[in-house]
């Protein structure tokens, strides 16, 4: 068996190389109500992480896995850099739930990978675009168990604007986001 190539940090100098002008707009073959997932990435001191590469990968509004793309862009995939306040925004649709090979149901979620200077390998997680009581049977929710930790993966719908979901990522320390490994 071949040894995997070790991960290394993305470093601070990727902005012109990996960022597409419309990379935060996620495309799909079908339609769905457009929403925005937005928030900040924060470090262990609560300071904004201003140089992270923030990626999302998701099913469409009906819960179908994306395949193919439009123009030069793959469906279902978003990629942006965080800004001066550590902020990011992904304009997309709320994904449908989908089933796993064992019949388990995955709640509406985006798979997220964050790369940054100081991250020798990506942090990976899943963010739910659904309230806490709607994700209890999700495989990751079951694996986490503790509601307080699971809450770090719930994107909260903005009471003033239902098209906005807010989710902050805390890389380390108090309120640390749950990260996963495969």
Interface of this chain with another protein, residues 56 to 115, rule: CB under 8 A: 57-59, 65-69, 72-77, 98-101, 106, 109, 111, 113, 115
The answer to whether 81 touches 117, Cβ cutoff 8 Å, is no
Q: Which of residues 152-171 bind another protein (CB under 8 A)?
A: 171
Q: Which of residues 12-41 bind another protein (CB under 8 A)?
A: 12-18
Q: Which is nearer to another protein, 134 or 178 (CB)?
A: 178
**Residue 64: exposure state from Cβ atoms within 10 A (0-12, 13-18, ≥19):** middle
Q: How many CB atoms lie within 10 A of CB 118?
A: 13
Q: How far is CA 47 from CA 28, 85, 86, 133, 156, in A?
A: 34, 9, 8, 31, 21
Helix (H) or strand (E) holding 88: strand 87-93
Q: DSSP assignment, residue 132?
A: G
Helix (H) or strand (E) holding 32: none
Site size toward another protein, by CB under 8 A: 72
Helix segments in 2-90, DSSP class H: 15-18
Q: Which is nearer to another protein, 142 or 161 (CB)?
A: 142
Q: Which is nearer to another protein, 131 or 173 (CB)?
A: 173
Q: Which of 132, 144, 156, 164 binds another protein (CB under 8 A)?
A: 144
Q: Which of 35, 93, 119, 155 binds another protein (CB under 8 A)?
A: 119
Q: How many CA atoms lie within 13 A of 37 on its CB side?
A: 33
Q: Which is nearer to another protein, 134 or 164 (CB)?
A: 134
Task: Point out which span in 82-90, 127-135, 136-144, 160-168 binds another protein (CB under 8 A).
Answer: 136-144
Task: Decide if residue 140 touches another protein (CB under 8 A).
Answer: yes
Dist CA 77 CA 5 (whole Å): 24
Task: Decide if residue 45 touches another protein (CB under 8 A).
Answer: yes
Q: What is the smallest separation between the CB atom of 110 and another protein, expressed in angstroms?
A: 9
Q: Which of 39, 126, 129, 167 binds another protein (CB under 8 A)?
A: 126
């Amino acid at each position: 068996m071949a040894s995997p190539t070790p991960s290394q940090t993305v470093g601070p100098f990727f902005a012109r190389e990996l960022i597409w002008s419309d990379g935060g707009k996620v495309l799909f073959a079908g339609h769905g109500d457009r929403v925005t997932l937005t928030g900040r990435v924060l470090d262990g001191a609560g300071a904004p992480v201003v140089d992270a590469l923030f990626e999302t990968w998701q099913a469409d509004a009906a819960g179908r896995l994306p395949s193919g793309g439009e123009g030069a862009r793959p469906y279902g995939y978003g990629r942006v850099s965080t800004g001066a306040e550590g902020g990011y925004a992904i304009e997309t649709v709320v994904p449908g739930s989908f089933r796993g090979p064992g019949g388990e149901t995955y709640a509406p979620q985006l798979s997220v990978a964050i790369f940054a200077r100081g991250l020798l390998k990506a942090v990976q997680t899943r963010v739910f675009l659904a309230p806490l009581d709607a994700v209890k049977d999700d495989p990751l929710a079951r694996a986490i168990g503790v509601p307080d930790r699971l809450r770090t993966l719930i994107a909260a719908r903005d009471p003033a604007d239902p098209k906005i979901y807010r989710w902050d990522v805390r890389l380390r320390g108090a309120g640390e986001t749950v990260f996963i490994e495969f």
